[in-house]
Chains A and B, each alone.
Chain A
Amino acid sequence: MAQTTKTPTAAPPGDLPPTRRNFVDLVMAARWGLVGGATATFVSAVGMVPDFDGVMLVDPILTLGYLVLFLVPFGFGYVAARPPMTLQGQEPARVGPRNVLAGAVAGLVTGLVLIIPVLVAANLNLRSVFVNLSPAMVETLTFGQTVADSEGLVIPAVGLALLIAGCLVAGALGGAVNVVSTRWRQAILAGLLWVLTVGLLEDLVMQFFRGINLDALVGVFFAPGGGLKPLGTIIVFVLVFSLRLLFARRPPRIKARYQALDQAERRRWVIIGIAISAVIVYLIPVVLGGFMSEILDLVGIYLLMALGLNIVIGFAGLLDLGYVAFFAVGAYMTAVLTSSGSPALSPELTFWAALPFVVLAAAVSGLLVGTPVLRMRGDYLAIVTLGFGEIARILFLSDWLNPVFGGAQGITQIPSPSIGSLELNTPPQFFYPIIVLVFVAAYITWALANSRIGRAWNAIREDEPIAEALGVNIVTAKLSAFVVGAALASFAGALFASKVGAVFPNSFSIVVSIVVLVIIIVGGMGNIAGVAVGALVIVGLPQLLREFDEYRFLLYGALLIFMMLAKPEGILPSRRRVAELHQEEMGQDAWLTAEPEVELDQARATPATAKD
């Protein structure tokens, strides 16, 4: 491989003019294009393209359908045109028109592959098998350039040409992203991302404007039929672009600065921080309105569960896939104790009076689940706990326990919690008990993490036999993890039951366990803030992005795979987690950058002490 002979210098890359050749392989680009074509075909055949065509992003130019479609060649163009990696000490490869060409090639191939589904859908009726290869799909893909029915093959040539051209341009743009310097690239991508976000989260933004009494802004940015106005798009893009460009430096780390303060200052800031947080928390449901509060309520309930599962999996390393069992126990206990419709016994306690019993029941179920699995290894534990989750749901559903739990009819008429005489039954009102319990759970998590039991959990998570040898009481540690996790889940269950007002067994399926697992994985295990972010993304976003409802699990799955391949520690990981997952890399980096501590000759000079 030819390289210009320049000795590597110590200056950071980017300051010197790049001199390495531009190794962009056009054949590879074509191959990426094939993959891109397959992806685009899949996206169309699954139904996303014609479905999303009805969702306006930028009125009247861009619908979500076309965005999703052209994002594929754009993305693959970007990947195909990426310059080779710059290793430490090397100089960055030159970028130039060749990258754009590579991107264009990838885009072109993608477009060419798309001819196949279009022709197939236009000429054959495979809808009994592939339900979405419909005329609607053809129309979207060919930009509405339909061809009159003719003898023989229907070939919408104009439409296809437009499609291929569009893919080519998108690919070229993707390639071009590699050419611009980092600062500009980040600014452009940030601007585009914000435009997309504002366009998709239209409802949230409009609600926010209304909430802060700036209703006029709604008309400025958004078109009446949905979507951003072109003017609004430009404003958002320019704003974000310029801000990003100007303030490219990272803001100083808050934590470091906090630690630089002295005691008195710290305390002052903590108090101010708490006061501001309290005010913000109080005002959130008021500003955001009924529907957003509803979403936040759901997010809060899942967040409670995620905090509990965070303890079981994140701290103690026990892979519990049947976490929904504890959630169900909490919900059903609340239902049985507080509802007037409870079949067997109807003590009709208030929510708060019932809560201790609920937690007690959950703790007992935690012990019931934890004891048999004490001796089981990781994967066995997973399937057994999954089994317990299913057992719980089936038992609540069963005819056998119908007299107590209502069977398939569930238990309805569950009252809402009340404070004094005020009944909390609207979403904004419900937000407060939820947020209070979330803070309690977060505090418990934080306290336990830094306590003795927390250290015991870390020990058994990292290496159980050694922990045992060091004197850690495995039984207590594991059981307490299950019990605490169960208790937190039961909080969530109790809130869920009184919020919805009815419990039916089909609300407690294995999907709930998996969603909670996804939250802590994607958000960042072991880190409270990460878990919160995860809950917002996994539970909150789908409620706001109602267009994607049909494809929600498809996107969950893709997101999981992507996160595991790219960033397995999650969005906001704890430092320990990052260290665990990237052990090898971090070890190598440390070795590379470490200064030798002792001169080698000196080491040889000292006599060896070990005598075996």
Chain B
Amino acid sequence: MVAEQGTPKRLHFDFVGAVLWLVRILAILAVVIGAFVSLTSGRLSAAAWLNFVVIGIGQGAIYALIALGYTMVYGVLGFINFAHGEVFMSGAMVGAFAANSLAQAGMWNSSPILSILIVLLIAMATSTLVALLLERVAYRRLRNAPRLIPLITSIGASFFIQYAFLGLFGAQTRTYPALSILDGFISVAGLNIRYADIMVIGAAVVMMVGLYTFVERTKAGRALRAVAEDKEIAALMGVNVNRTIVLTFAVGGAMAGAAALLFGVVFRTVFFFSGFLFGIKAFTAAVLGGIGNIVGAMLGGLTLGIFESVGPSLVLTGLGIPSAHQLKDVVAFLALVLVLIFKPTGLLGERLSEERA
């Protein structure tokens, strides 16, 4: 970008650049050595290693769906919506109540598809409602404020929603009833892939494709891209900026609601704190893939899921680190740092908005 640099500056540039190169090399070395040791130790079979990848994709798909909400809001409004994790959690909790009611009514396992659809609608509606409330109450007036302000507001909103749910629904965990049709595997090339994982990945892909089509091909999607590019000019071009922003939050909320249902049906236990860590991970995923980029969010989510799942067993245990799975989050965040060092705009670069300095 900057062609000329003064002499003192160049020294510093070299120093920092050198350190970063060192970090890159160390990282690659660590990964290669660890992986080599692990794979050749015979600790786990090949099927087991592949299973790690499958597990990672399953978890990553959920990260991806939540990441979509982050990436869209960031792309259009330019700030991190910290409370998006809570949007997810609200759908998951309310979905749990709905699912348990259906189970009590005997419908859950007798008509599973219908039940899932009902709970999906309820979860999506709840999440969308929470997202819209957030926008209306907390964010609308701050549209033109410097970016730190809505960020802080979103942190406040995140705490508020978490503890509101704690107060309203109590601290205990809520569990979705088991869904018998999801039991079972398909055997593909020696790998056992659960029906549940297939459903999650399938649903995520469908949502992704749907959202991509929406953003690229429809009029509303075009409006979204326009507002992401430049709010004022878009308004001059006749785009109803307010409605577009509301739509962004609604769509993000709906995606999170879908993720909530998938999480609920597969992982089954939720409580008021479930959204917090997921929110952070999902935002990590969004940044990993390139913030503002929808395909990037999916890629980032899957990548993060795979790193988390494969990393500890493959690299850390190989390097001789005990209790490697405790360091799962360390792997995730280090992966983020390394990707950003290698590629500062994320894996696929930014898309929805170009300049966000």
Per-residue contact bits, chain A 464-508, to B (CB 8 Å; 1 contact, 0 not): 110010010101100000000000000000000000000000000
Q: Which of A319, A556, A565 is the one whose CB lies under 8 Å from B142?
A: A565
Q: What separation, in Å, do the CA atoms of A398 and B322 have in the docked complex?
A: 9
Task: Give bound CA distance, A553 to B166, whole Å.
Answer: 10
Contact B159 A554 (CB under 8 A): yes
CB distance from A49 to the nearest CB of B (A): 11
B162 touches A553 (CB 8 A): yes
B 318-349 contacts with A by CB, 8 A:
321-323, 326-327, 329-330, 332-334, 336-337, 340-341, 344
The answer, yes or no, to whether B160 is at the interface (CB within 8 Å) is: yes
Mark out the residues of chain B between 233 and 286 whose CB falls within 8 Å of any chain A CB in the assembled complex: 280, 283-284
Contact A476 B12 (CB under 8 A): yes
Task: Decide if B149 touches A568 in the complex (CB within 8 Å).
Answer: yes
**Which of chain A's residues have a CB closer than 8 A to the CB of B137?**
561
Is residue A261 within 8 Å, beta carbon to beta carbon, of the partner chain? no
A46 to B168 Cα, complex, angstroms: 5
Inter-subunit contact A388/B333 (CB<8 Å): yes
Which of B15-23, B112-120, B190-198, B202-210 is found at the contact surface with chain A?
Answer: B15-23
One of A187-195, A273-281, A342-350, A368-376 at the interface: A368-376
Q: How many Å from the CB of B163 to the closest CB on chain A?
A: 4
Chain B residues contacting A203 (CB-CB under 8 Å) are: none
| Per-position binary interface string of chain A over residues 367-397, scored 1 when its CB falls under 8 Å from any chain B CB and 0 otherwise | 0000110111111101110111011001101
Which A residues touch B158, using CB under 8 A? Answer: 557
Q: Which residues does chain B contribute within 8 Å of A471, judged by CB atoms?
A: 6
Residue A201 lies at the interface, judged by CB distance under 8 Å to chain B: no
**Chain B CB within 8 A of A85 CB:** no
Determine whether A558 belongs to the interface, using a CB cutoff of 8 Å to chain B: yes
In the complex, the answer to whether B12 meets A475 with C-beta atoms within 8 Å is yes
Q: B323: nearest residue on chain A (CB-CB)? A: A399
Q: Is A129 an interface residue (CB 8 A)?
A: yes
Contacts of B341 in A (CB 8 A): 372
Q: Which A residues lie within 8 Å of B141 (CB)?
A: 565
With A400-B327, A551-B163, A554-B160 already in contact, the answer to whether A560 and B147 are too (CB < 8 A) is no
The answer, yes or no, to whether B36 is at the interface (CB within 8 Å) is no
Q: Is the CB of B330 within 8 A of A42?
A: no
Question: Which of chain B's residues has its CB closest to A369's CB?
Answer: B337
The reply on B185 being an interface residue by CB < 8 A is: no
| Contact, CB under 8 Å: B80 / A398 | no
Residues on B with beta carbons closer than 8 Å to the beta carbon of A386: 280
Q: B1-38 CB contact bits vs A (8 Å, 1 = yes)? A: 01000101100110110011001000000000000000
Question: Is A514 among interface residues, defined by CB-CB distance under 8 A?
Answer: yes
Establish whether residues A45 and B80, one from each chain, have CB atoms under 8 Å apart when the complex forms: no
Contacts of A556 in B (CB 8 A): 156, 159
The residue of chain B having its C-beta at the shortest distance from the C-beta of A558 within the complex is B160
Contacts of B327 in A (CB 8 A): 394-395, 398, 400
Query: B184 near A: Cβ within 8 Å?
Result: no
- For residue B152, which residues in chain A have a CB less than 8 angstroms away from its CB? 517-518, 521, 560, 564
**A559: CB under 8 A from chain B?**
yes
CA distance A380 to B80 in the complex (A): 10
Closest Cβ of chain B to A67, distance in Å, is: 18
For A372, give its contact among B23, B145, B162 (CB under 8 Å). B23
Q: How far is B170's CA from A557's CA once the two chains are assembled, in angstroms? A: 18
CB within 8 Å of A: which of B139-198?
A: 141-142, 145-153, 155-164, 166-170
A231 within 8 A of B: no
Chain B residues in 8 Å Cβ range of A553? 159-160, 162-163
The answer to the question of A83 belonging to the interface, with a C-beta cut-off of 8 Å to chain B, is: no
For A129, the chain B residues whose CB sits under 8 A away are: 97, 169
* Contact B151–A399 (Cβ < 8 Å): no
Q: Are B168 and A131 in contact (CB under 8 A)?
A: yes
A contact residues around B333 at 8 Å (CB): 384, 387-388, 390-391
Q: List the A side residues contacting B16 at CB < 8 Å.
A: 371, 374, 475
Q: Interface size class for chain A?
A: 35 or more
- Residue A130 interfacial (CB < 8 Å): yes
With A387-B333, A399-B323 as contacts: A379 and B291 at CB distance below 8 Å: yes
B79 at the interface (CB under 8 A from A): yes
| Cα–Cα, bound, A48→B166 (Å) | 12
* A537-557 near B? 1/0 per residue, CB < 8 Å: 000000000000011011011
**Measured between C-beta atoms, what is the minimum distance from B120 to chain A in Å?**
20
Q: Given A395, A397, A398, A557, which contacts B163 in the complex, CB threshold below 8 Å?
A: A557
Contacts A380-B287, A398-B323, A558-B160; A464 near B357 (Cβ below 8 A): yes
CB of A560 within 8 A of CB of B153, answer yes
Measured between C-beta atoms, what is the minimum distance from B19 to chain A in Å?
A: 5
CB distance from B87 to the nearest CB of A (A): 14
- For A126, the closest partner residue in chain B by CB is B97
Q: List the B residue with the shortest CB-CB distance to A400.
A: B321
B63 cross-chain contacts in A, Cβ below 8 A: none
The residue on A at minimum CB distance from B11 is A475
> Are B151 and A382 in touch, CB under 8 angstroms?
yes
Q: Answer yes or no: A581 CB below 8 A from chain B CBs.
A: yes
- B residues in contact with A527, CB < 8 Å: none
Contact A473 B79 (CB under 8 A): no
CB distance from B326 to the nearest CB of A (A): 5
Check if B138 is an interface residue, CB within 8 A of chain A: yes
A138 to chain B, nearest CB (A): 16
A300 within 8 A of B: no
A580 touches B (CB below 8 Å): yes
B321 to chain A, nearest CB (A): 5
Contact B8 A473 (CB under 8 A): yes
Chain A residues with CB below 8 A from B167, complex form: 45-48, 132, 550-551, 554
A-B contact pairs, 11 of them (CB 8 A): A131-B168, A379-B291, A382-B80, A384-B337, A386-B280, A399-B322, A476-B12, A551-B167, A553-B162, A560-B152, A581-B149
Show the binding face of B for A, using Cβ within 8 Å. Answer: 2, 6, 8-9, 12-13, 15-16, 19-20, 23, 74, 79-80, 97, 137-138, 141-142, 145-153, 155-164, 166-170, 280, 283-284, 287, 291, 321-323, 326-327, 329-330, 332-334, 336-337, 340-341, 344, 356-357
Q: Which 3 A/B pairs are nearest by Cβ-Cβ distance?
A: A560-B156, A557-B160, A387-B333
